[in-house]
Chain A
Amino acid sequence: MKFLQTLLDWSEVWALLIPLIIIAICNPKEKHIRILRGYVLIGFILNFSATFMLEYYDLVPKWMYVNNMVNNNLPYNIHSIIRVLFFSWYIIITIGPFRFSGILKLLLAAYAFLVLINFIFIESPFFLSTHLFAAESIVLLVMCLSYFFRSIQDESHTNWLKHPSFLVCAGICLYEVITFFIFLFFYPLSQKDPAFFVVTMRIYNITFVLLCILLALAFYKSKTYHKKKT
């Protein structure tokens, strides 16, 4: 039981090890997939630091304390921003020239502006920002919908279902549709229904593992897909 608990506590870390292992084995070199490699690596470092700070708080040096307490919210906030930037970049590049490309770039710029406003004037970066997570879900869902719309409209011979990017977008979409409501009601739920809050956190962990598995599959497929094409 304790092992299962530890496994779930560290799920955000070991889940990212799955795509990292696939990257090490398959070494996908495709231009677009390199963006995701960057995300997986940075995400792993951030999640490891956040989980390590929570699990081994006594080992954290005093200068890292916030208000005399260990605070691991900063890596989570950075991770959310990284997720938006890297996944949006990947989707925009993958769908290529598109009728709404300008709008997508504008949306990304608006997101960056709102993040700056939020952390300068509204919330501290050491506070787990539900605004940030909600904005992340909205931006990435719009990106994924654009991807699906683009693939439906596409008249070329590309089979989008077999394209590695389909797995990535399906993973992001699944992750964001579930986490949107979890983070939107993060604080009220933690105060008013702590038992259900724990359940939602477990659901969140499982969803993140699913996203990592789909990313790993995309890395694997990227190698075989481009081999077939060449």
Chain B
Amino acid sequence: MGANGTDIKYLVIVGIAVMLLLFTSFLVALIFNQRKKLKYQQSMEKLREQQQNQLIEAAVRSEETERHRIAETLHDEVGAFLSSAKLHLLGIKEETLDDKDKKLYEKGKELLNDVIQKVRGISHNLHSNILKEFGLNEAIRHFVRKVTEGTVLNATTALDDNYKTVNPDDDISMYRMVQELINNILKYAKATEFIISSTLKGKELDLVLFHNGDGLTQEQFEELRYQKEGLGLKNIQNRIILLKGMIHFTSGNEGYRINIHIPVKSTTDE
């Protein structure tokens, strides 16, 4: 054969060049393939998230519809029956009754009045009429006033009136979350001070609930919302997912703070 030095030299150079080219092609193919796969996985993840959100939305909406149905039944049917029962009761001539029956009559009237009030309260609570007519801020103020009246809890509301309803469904979700959180505070926190405030920053609404009782930390919230007993917290989390917002529980020396961050369209977008 007798290949000379130059031939061998070129053979080595060309050989290395070809091998390098093949190696680079493989690498490029691998990188493209991985990127494509990653994009596909991301789109699948997005789709799954969308489906999950749709399910949550359907669950929340059906819950709201059911609340309305129960509220209307309570108001229109139970309320009407109770009012009719009261009318019948008032039809009894008091002067014909002896002392024992008079006492029973008074007690019955008192209990009936209490039940009518309670049913009306529950119905209003479920129906959120104020929310629809006067907006989120007024509904929260009214709710806070109502639930803290006659309790040791000293409540303060400082809500940003620049916030105007854009999507009524979002307002219902926010209102339900606030309701649930305040009910929890009343039930478990043994607080004496409570402040609820909101700030509208462009397209974001920040709600802060502060109290000086025993509250939850973020870790406890994460843990409890997966438990059966934590149904309320799970509902809060679902509504947060639905609103694409964030909730954060923190504790400090003065008390506990719940920060809710919700993206909303500002009034200028309307």
Do A and B come together as binding partners?
yes
Where the two chains meet, the residues of A that have a C-beta atom closer than 8 Å to any C-beta of B are 145, 148, 151-152, 157, 159-161, 170, 173-174, 177-178, 180-182, 184-185, 188-189, 192-193, 196, 200
Beta-carbon nearest neighbor of B29 in chain A = A152
Where the two chains meet, the residues of B that have a C-beta atom closer than 8 Å to any C-beta of A are 3-6, 8-9, 11-12, 15-16, 19-20, 22-23, 26-27, 29-31, 33-34, 38, 41
Beta-carbon nearest neighbor of B35 in chain A = A161
The listed residue (A157, A177, A189) touching B5 by CB distance below 8 A is A189
Known: A157-B41, A193-B5. A148 touches B19 (CB 8 A): no
The answer to whether B20 touches A178 (Cβ under 8 A) is yes
The answer to whether A185 touches B8 (Cβ under 8 A) is yes
The answer to whether A178 touches B19 (Cβ under 8 A) is yes
The answer to whether A177 touches B30 (Cβ under 8 A) is no
* Complex alpha-carbon distance, A188 and B7, angstroms: 11
The listed residue (A174, A182, A188) touching B23 by CB distance below 8 A is A174
Known: A189-B12, A192-B5. A177 touches B20 (CB 8 A): yes
Q: Is chain B's interface secondary structure helix, strand, loop, or mixed overall?
A: helix
* Complex alpha-carbon distance, A185 and B27, angstroms: 27
The listed residue (A157, A160, A180, A200) touching B30 by CB distance below 8 A is A160
* Complex alpha-carbon distance, A200 and B12, angstroms: 9
The answer to whether B26 touches A161 (Cβ under 8 A) is no
Q: With a CB–CB cut-off of 8 A, which chain B residues contact A184?
A: 15
By Cβ-Cβ distance, the 9 closest A-B pairs, closest first, are A193-B5, A192-B5, A177-B19, A181-B15, A181-B12, A152-B33, A177-B23, A161-B34, A196-B9
* Complex alpha-carbon distance, A180 and B31, angstroms: 25
Known: A177-B20, A178-B20. A192 touches B30 (CB 8 A): no
Q: With a CB–CB cut-off of 8 A, which chain A residues contact B5?
A: 189, 192-193, 196
The answer to whether A185 touches B11 (Cβ under 8 A) is yes
The answer to whether A189 touches B9 (Cβ under 8 A) is yes
Return A194 CB to nearest CB of chain B, in Å.
9
Beta-carbon nearest neighbor of A195 in chain B = B5
Beta-carbon nearest neighbor of A188 in chain B = B8
The answer to whether B15 touches A180 (Cβ under 8 A) is yes
The answer to whether A181 touches B9 (Cβ under 8 A) is no
* Complex alpha-carbon distance, A157 and B44, angstroms: 12
Known: A151-B30, A177-B19. A182 touches B38 (CB 8 A): no
The answer to whether B6 touches A193 (Cβ under 8 A) is yes
The answer to whether A180 touches B27 (Cβ under 8 A) is no
The listed residue (A170, A180, A185) touching B19 by CB distance below 8 A is A180
Return A79 CB to nearest CB of chain B, in Å.
21
Q: With a CB–CB cut-off of 8 A, which chain A residues contact B22?
A: 177
Beta-carbon nearest neighbor of A199 in chain B = B9
Beta-carbon nearest neighbor of A189 in chain B = B8
* Complex alpha-carbon distance, A196 and B26, angstroms: 29
Known: A180-B19, A181-B15, A188-B3. A152 touches B30 (CB 8 A): yes
Q: With a CB–CB cut-off of 8 A, which chain B residues contact A193?
A: 5-6, 8-9
Beta-carbon nearest neighbor of B22 in chain A = A177
The answer to whether B19 touches A181 (Cβ under 8 A) is yes
* Complex alpha-carbon distance, A157 and B40, angstroms: 11
The answer to whether B38 touches A145 (Cβ under 8 A) is no
Known: A177-B20, A178-B20, A189-B12. A148 touches B34 (CB 8 A): no
